[in-house]
Structure 1
Amino acid sequence: MNGKKILFVSSELVPYLPENEVSLMSYEAPRMVNSKGGQIRIFMPRYGNINERRHQLHEVIRLSGMNLVINDMDMPLIIKVASIPRERIQVYFIDNDEYFKRKATFSDEQGNLFPDNDQRAIFFAKGVVETVKKLNWNPDIIHVHGWMASLLPLYLKKYYADEPLFAESKIVTSVYKQSFDGALDAGMVKKIAFDGIPEDSIDHLKTPTYNNLLKVAVDFSDAVILASEEIPEDLQQHISNLQIPVLPYVSLQEFEEAYANFYNTEVLK
């Protein structure tokens, strides 16, 4: 991994959010690459339940200030950064008061998914790409974790298809076990189509369930990592039909060599 540039984009990350499969691997994979001499950047949403004072988040004025158009609405993009102290790893946070100020991640106190989760996912995907463009940092690999980040492969391959910064970048999506029931807003396809992305390329999102979000993510990825022991059968079948490299599940205790080898021999070949 020496000298390779890897962009990690995740829904969740420890120590900023509670530990689960997604948040822990979103920390461990960059730590591994960092230790092997790779260059990394990590992006996640700045949810309102992240303690800014404790984690010492601060706004980056030179990166903030642009507006992203989401479903014909101008939404201000705010970028904050913090460092994971013991690893000397910097994390970039995509923020917007309308989408991320609420004191929760994906659902309300009753467990109901936020009705604008689809727009939040679109904003996050576009916000990551626009910020990386401002940094003028061209990653060799873009590694996606968690469903809130699942639109990034689609936007990179369709909306930003002509962006030279990512012309050589390879997209890897880690697929985890199902993390929510039900579906996002039924109008999600129309909101993505507003950005000029053909509806026939996102047919799955006519019913935007967890499985269908991940199907779209892997459809526009160059490789897939199965990051949970139990992947929904429907999703597993979809992945097996793709003509791209797939890394089977490996435990947290054994992932380092497997991931590094997969990056080097399958993704960057």
Structure 2
Amino acid sequence: MSTKKRILFIATEMSPYLELTEFAEVINKLAIKSNDSGLEVRCIMPRFGVINERRHRLHEVVRLSGINVSVDNDDYPLQIKVASLPNARLQVYFLENEDFFKRKQIFHDDDESWFEDNALRTVFFCKGALETVKKFGWPPDIIHCSGWMTGLIPAYIKTAYKKEPVFGNSKVIFTIGENTFTEKLGADFLKQAVINANIKEKDLEAFKEASNTALFKGGASFADAITFGAEKIDKKLVDEFAKVKGKKVVPFKGWDSDLTEYLELYNDLAGK
């Protein structure tokens, strides 16, 4: 049996598949550096329609098929595809759904209008990622979430999935990045985000504004550790989370950092 510590990256974006901010490249480097450092690494991200399946050699993982994800009283089929990260021996898993991720735009249509179902897409991705890990039967020691679309995952692990053995020893890191949208996820976001009986709307109070800042705030509130992943971060978040009792906080050290600060955090939280 492997004694390696396991780290799971759950990201909205990751180079070379999708690059919305500079942090996409950081996630790529972190995954490779973690793998090279002796950690067992897996990555999960949405399979947006702009990600070229042929170019990146994605293929369906048949053994993981058959998952349905229930969101807002509807069931949506989850298809899982996988690719090998270029120049690294590690797997990236892509979550796909015809309704939410097949379109050839990401969060806005061709007229720059915000998709009305971005809230449902977010809930589906966060729940789908955790259901995928359950299907793996692969308990991660560290779960590193990045990108606003992963904001609900720390909350879900501490509430909706707190009784799941696969997450029983998982420590969660959440990266606060730069704001990339000004719209809201809608008045029903909290109701839609309640995915089972172990979570209530009141548990999600930090997310109530349903804004980019709120997604970061909520994710950071439930995480065991926080990192700052950009130079330009909402000042309210910096003021609130730069020093938090009971949480390890890693400041942003520039785009040219060798990322050692992350490896130290992973090893610290994993108990090495």
TM range (shorter): over 0.9
The 3 A distance-change label for structure 1 pair 164 and 15 is same
Q: Is the 8 A contact 2:149 2:215 kept in 1?
A: no
Letter in 1 for 2:223: S
Aligned to 1:234: 236
| Aligned mates of 2:52, 2:101 — CA distance in 1 | 13
CA contact (8 A) 2:126 2:153 kept: yes
Code of the residue aligned with 1:157 in structure 2: it is K
**1:46 is the counterpart of 2:76:** no
Contact kept? 2:160, 2:195, Cα under 8 Å: no
Give the alignment's TM-score, normalised by structure 2: 0.93
In the alignment, is residue 247 of structure 1 matched against residue 245 of structure 2? no
In structure 1, the residue matched to 2:56 is 55
How big is each residue's C-alpha offset from its partner over 1:20-57, in whole Å with a ceiling of 9 and x where there is no partner? Answer: 32311121111110111111000000001111111111
Distance 1:182 1:165, change over 3 A: same
Secondary structure class of the residue paired with 2:154: helix
AA in 1 matched with 2:237: L
| TM superposition shift of 1:183 | 1.1
Q: Are the structure 2 counterparts of residues 225 and 194 from structure 1 closer, same or farther at C-alpha, using a change threshold of 3 Å?
A: closer
- Partner residue of 2:193? 192
Cα shift at 1:195: 2.9
Assess if the C-alpha contact under 8 Å between 1:5 and 1:139 holds in 2.
yes
Task: Give the counterpart letter for 1:247 in structure 2.
Answer: V
Kept in 1, the 8 Å contact 2:243–2:249? The answer is no
State how far apart, in whole Å, the 2-side matches of 1:194 and 1:127 are. 11
Kindly provide the CA deviation profile for residues 193-215 of structure 1, in whole angstroms up to 9, marking residues without a partner as x: 35332222212333200111111
Aligned to 1:220: 222
Instruction: Name the counterpart of 2:148.
Output: 147
Instruction: Report the TM-score when normalising by structure 1.
Output: 0.94
Return the alpha-carbon distance in structure 1 between the equivalents of residues 114 and 23 of structure 2: 18
Q: Is the 8 A contact 1:13 1:26 kept in 2?
A: yes
1:22 aligns with 2:23: yes
Q: Distance in 1 between matches of 2:151 and 2:226?
A: 12
RMSD: 1.7
What is the match of residue 65 of structure 2? Answer: 64
Q: Deviations over 1:157-197 (max 9, x none)?
A: 11101001111110000111111112112210111235332
> For 1:26-175, what aligned pairs fall within 5 Å after superposition?
26-175=27-176
Verify the 8 A CA contact 2:144 2:174 in the aligned structure 1. Answer: yes
Deviation >6 Å, runs of 4+: none
CA distance in 2, matches of 1:252, 1:240: 19
Does the aligned pair in 1 maintain the 2:207–2:217 contact within 8 Å? Answer: no
How many Å separate the matches in 2 of 1:255 and 1:175? 19
SS in 2 for 1:40: strand
Task: Answer yes or no: is the 8 Å Cα contact 1:121–1:149 preserved in 2.
Answer: yes
Mapped to 2, the partners of 1:140 and 1:216 lie a distance apart of 21
The answer to whether the Cα contact below 8 Å between 2:178 and 2:234 also exists between their aligned partners in 1 is yes
Specify the SS of the correspondent of 2:132: helix
Q: For structure 1, which segment, 158-167 or 195-204, has the greater mean C-alpha deviation from structure 2 after superposition?
A: 195-204
Q: Which amino acid aligns with 1:17?
A: L
The gaps in structure 1 that reach 5 residues or longer are: none
Identity of aligned residues (%): 39
Kindly indicate whether the alpha-carbon contact (under 8 Å) linking 1:78 and 1:95 is maintained by their aligned counterparts in 2: yes
Shift of residue 70 of structure 1? 0.4
Q: CA deviation at 1:126?
A: 1.2
Equivalent residue letter for 1:33: S
Bigger fraction of residues in helix: 1
CA distance in 1: counterparts of 2:271 and 2:119, whole angstroms: 31
- Whether contact under 8 Å (1:222, 1:267) holds in the other structure is no
Q: Is the alpha carbon distance of 1:59 and 1:106 closer, same or farther for their aligned partners in structure 2, counting shifts above 3 Å?
A: same
Report the secondary structure of 2:54's partner residue.
Answer: helix
Paired residue secondary structure (2:69):
strand
